[in-house]
């Protein structure tokens, strides 16, 4: 990553909730993220969310999906040639202390 993506803390959760989510996406040969490549990843063993937790999760997810493509990334290379690369990244939302 050469420039961090602009990911806003969801207004719905900004004073009341913390959370994290994991996404997989492709960084293409130009360092961009094709929007159709962004997918949620649910880690094995994570407990099922309650209805209230799901509402916050959905707001975090929408914020990250909007923000991830705003970052700038350095494409992976093989023998000096840029290639598409699948990336898995966790996004953590913490309340200010």
65 vs 23: CA distance, rounded Å? 9
For 1-19, the pLDDT digits (tens) are 788 888 888 876 667 788 8
43, 91, 37, 89: which is closest to 63 by C-alpha?
Answer: 91
Q: How far is CA 47 from the centre of its chain?
A: 20
Helix (H, G, I), strand (E, B) or coil at 11: coil
Determine the pLDDT at residue 3.
83
C-alpha dihedral (65, 71, 72, 78), degrees to nearest 10? -40
Determine the pLDDT at residue 4.
85
What parts of the chain have a pLDDT lower than 70? 12-14, 97
Domain ranges of the chain: 19-93
Query: Is the domain defined by 19-93 classed in CATH 3.30.2420?
Result: yes
């Amino acid at each position: 990553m050469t420039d961090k993506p602009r990911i806003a803390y969801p207004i719905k959760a900004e004073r009341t909730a913390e959370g994290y989510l994991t996404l997989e996406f492709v960084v293409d040969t130009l360092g961009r993220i094709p929007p159709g490549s962004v997918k949620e990843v649910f880690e094995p063993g994570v407990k099922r969310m309650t209805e209230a937790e799901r509402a916050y999760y959905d707001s975090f997810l929408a914020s990250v999906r909007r923000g991830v493509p705003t970052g700038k990334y350095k494409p992976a290379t093989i023998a000096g040639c840029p290639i598409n690369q699948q990336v898995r990244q966790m996004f953590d939302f913490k309340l200010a202390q």
